Amino acid sequence: MEGPSLVILKEEAAPFIGKKVLVASGASKLDKDRIINQTLRDLKTWGKHFLMVFDDCTIRIHYLMFGNYYINSRHPEKIPKLTLEFENGEWNNYNCAAKIIEGTDMDALYDWSSDVMNEAWSPAKARKKLAAHPHMLVSDALLDQQLFTGVGNIIKNEVFYRIKMHPESVIGALPPAKLTQLIKEARNYSFDFYNWKKEGTLRKHWLAHTKKICIRCNLPFTKKHTGLNPRRSFFCTNCQVLYTPKDNEGTAVNK
């Protein structure tokens, strides 16, 4: 799940805040007895980390690539990794990793300013962090959770298409204005993702992710695994500019 999806989950699970856990079960090896009779005090998200804050500990859930959840219903076939039952409903989590973190002060563990969905998001800090990685490919940068917390592969592909940037461009070769555009659109598209997913129209708005034809050029997209941690990229080599270093200077090369 990408960051915007967890913000939606936080809203959907909000009725459980202030309620005690009556039953905790599931296939996870988590010490489930630890949280029985504890009150859910708060819900927080940091990118792809979902945080359930209880009386004296916090449960961190990562939904990995294919995790999901059901509130007040269950998957007809799968066994939940973690089920929490409250007086006003139940919350079932599937295909996820769950861990207990001691304590409730998440400000000491998380830099909220790196989260593109958080009100504390700082574009200035993002720019400074990017400047420290001039040789990094932009496709790696957008998926680096320390740089753009909450951005996933869908957002990556759509942002690059929006700003007409090749995913194998190099951070240090980007013109200053293009770097600004990259940082801005990572957040802008994340909120568009959030709104469209709430409407149930997200896939209808995809312009690049999983697509075969560029709607600007009417030419076939290139599908390629890019970056050090290779993830699928869908891009148009005609309108998405490749920025690469040349003679120690940033030069735009359009393949």
Question: What pLDDT score does 230 carry?
Answer: 87
Strand pairing class (57-62; 97-102): antiparallel
Domain spans, the chain: 3-108, 112-253
| Beta sheet of 97-102, edge-to-edge order | 42-46, 49-53, 57-62, 97-102
Contact 51, 45 (CB under 8 A): yes
Q: 112-253: what CATH class? A: mainly alpha
The CATH superfamily label for domain 3-108 reads MutM-like, N-terminal (3.20.190.10)
Residue 153 has pLDDT above 50, yes or no: yes
Exposure letters 36-58 (e unless 16+ CB within 10 A, then b): eebebeebbbbbbbbbbbbeebb
pLDDT digits (tens, 9 = 90+) for 55-95: 999 999 999 878 999 999 999 899 999 999 999 999 999 99
* Residue 64 pLDDT: 87
Specify whether the CB–CB gap between 98 and 71 falls below 8 A: no
How far apart, in whole angstroms, are the C-alpha atoms of residue 240 and residue 165?
4
Give me the residue label for tokens 């990793």.
Answer: 97
Instruction: Report pTM.
Output: 0.90
pLDDT value at residue 66: 85
d(C-alpha 75, C-alpha 185), whole Å: 35
Q: Which helix (H) or strand (E) holds 178?
A: helix 176-199
Which pLDDT does position 60 carry in this prediction? 97
Banded pLDDT at 247 (limits 50, 70, 90):
very low
First vs last C-alpha separation in the chain: 32
Report how far residue 35's alpha carbon sits from residue 247's, in angstroms, rounded to the nearest whole number: 59
